[in-house]
């Protein structure tokens, strides 16, 4: 798997090398957690209108993009869905420590296909009666922040032991969301912002925020960033960027 991440980084590096100097000066590349897709794309469009700088993205599970950034992928900015992976790339020397800021927070919800929107009781019986012989979609509970938050919440609610064998771990939280939207799984645990982004799911339960570590999104400029990366981070504190995050179901941080 590590070789795959290095190979991907090499492909990105080759693409960057082939870009003209003008292209490099007029483009920022962001590697970000999948759950930030809607917010960052909206903020990036606003930034492009103001500055003329194009913003391009690579969205995936935080573990995947962190390893790519660590391997030298040509990212100007890295956005994580938790502090653990930001600490990982910081210790690897892939980001500039003094540029790290928290840009937003999030919450967890349980979603079901919109055709089955009845509220769910956060009990073992409540989950098992809805699941039947099927599984609960989550992001990978060992490596992906959304999955780790979900596991922590289920453990705190005394549900994990009964549900561990019924989990369907996915590569990232947006894939977990999509499986519910398509009706492939009857329930999923995702971020509240994901539920807003997908019209084919309904929120059937809100997971208490005190049942898991705070969900935060730290961002940083990489050590190979081009000019303008710090300016983009500063732009995220403007009213229009903050509104883009709120519209996507996230809570911008002052």
CATH number, domain containing residue 178: 3.40.190.10
- What's residue 26's pLDDT? 84
Nearest to 138 by CA among 95, 93, 172, 101: 172
In a domain? residue 156: yes
Backbone angles phi, psi at 228, to 5 degrees: 110, -15
Query: Are 7 and 100 part of one and the same domain?
Result: yes
Residues 129 and 198 in one domain: yes
Q: Are residues 7 and 24 in the same domain?
A: yes
Gap between the terminal Cα atoms of the chain: 37
176 and 141 belong to one structural domain? yes
Q: Are residues 236 and 202 in the same domain?
A: no
Kindly state whether residues 46 and 168 are assigned to the same domain. Answer: no
pLDDT in tens, 88-144: 999 999 999 999 999 999 999 999 999 999 999 999 999 999 999 999 999 999 999
Tens digit of each residue's pLDDT (9 = 90 or more) over 152-202: 999 999 999 999 999 999 999 999 999 999 999 999 999 999 999 999 999
Taking alpha carbons only, the member of 4, 9, 30, 29 closest to residue 19 is: 29
| 221 and 131 together in one domain | no
Q: Does residue 211 form part of some domain?
A: no
Structural Rg of the chain based on CA atoms: 19
Residue 79, helix vs strand vs coil: strand
Cα dist. 41→31, 38, 48, 111, 234 in Å? 12, 5, 10, 24, 16
Considering only CA atoms, which of 23, 5, 10, 54 is closest in space to residue 232? 54
146 known ligand binder: yes
CA–CA gap between residue 12 and residue 168 (Å, rounded) = 31
Antiparallel, parallel or unpaired: β 27-33 and 201-206: unpaired
User: Any binding-site annotation on 173?
Assistant: yes
6 and 74 in one domain? yes
Q: Is residue 95 domain-shared with residue 220, that is, in the same domain?
A: yes
32-87 residue pLDDT tens: 999 999 999 999 999 999 999 999 999 999 999 999 999 999 999 999 999 999 99
Is 62 annotated in a binding site? The answer is: yes
- Is the domain of 19 the same as that of 101? yes
127 in any annotated domain: yes
Let me know if residue 57 belongs to a domain.
yes
64 is in an annotated binding site: no
d(C-alpha 21, C-alpha 159), whole Å: 55
Q: How many domains does the chain have?
A: 2
Asked whether 34 and 172 are in contact (CB, 8 A), the reply is yes
Residue 121 lies in domain: 108-206
62 and 185 part of one domain:
no
| Together in a domain, 173 and 122 | yes
User: In whole angstroms, what separates CA 68 from the centre of its chain?
Assistant: 15
- 35 annotated as a binding-site residue: yes
């Amino acid at each position: 798997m590590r070789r795959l991440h290095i190979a991907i980084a090499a492909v990105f590096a080759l693409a960057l090398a082939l870009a003209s100097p003008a292209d490099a000066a007029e483009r920022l590349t962001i590697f970000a957690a999948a759950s930030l897709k809607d917010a960052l794309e909206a903020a990036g469009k606003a930034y492009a209108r103001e500055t003329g700088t194009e913003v391009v993205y690579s969205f995936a599970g935080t573990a995947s993009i962190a390893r790519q950034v660590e391997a030298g992928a040509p990212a100007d900015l890295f956005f994580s869905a938790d502090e653990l992976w930001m600490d990982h790339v910081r210790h690897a020397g892939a980001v500039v420590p003094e540029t790290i800021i928290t840009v937003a927070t999030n919450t967890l919800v349980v979603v079901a296909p919109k055709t089955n929107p009845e509220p769910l009781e956060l009990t073992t019986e409540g989950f098992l009666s809805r699941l039947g012989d099927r599984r609960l979609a989550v992001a990978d509970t060992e490596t992906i922040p959304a999955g780790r938050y979900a596991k922590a919440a289920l453990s705190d609610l005394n549900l994990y032991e009964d549900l561990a064998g019924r989990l369907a771990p996915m590569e990232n939280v947006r894939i977990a969301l999509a499986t519910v939207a398509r009706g492939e799984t009857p329930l999923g645990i995702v971020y509240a912002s994901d539920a807003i982004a997908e019209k084919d799911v309904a929120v059937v339960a809100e997971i208490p925020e005190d049942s898991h570590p705070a969900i935060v999104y730290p961002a940083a400029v990489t050590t190979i960033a081009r000019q303008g990366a710090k300016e983009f981070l500063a732009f995220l504190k403007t009213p229009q960027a903050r509104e883009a995050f709120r519209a996507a179901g996230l809570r911008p941080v002052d």
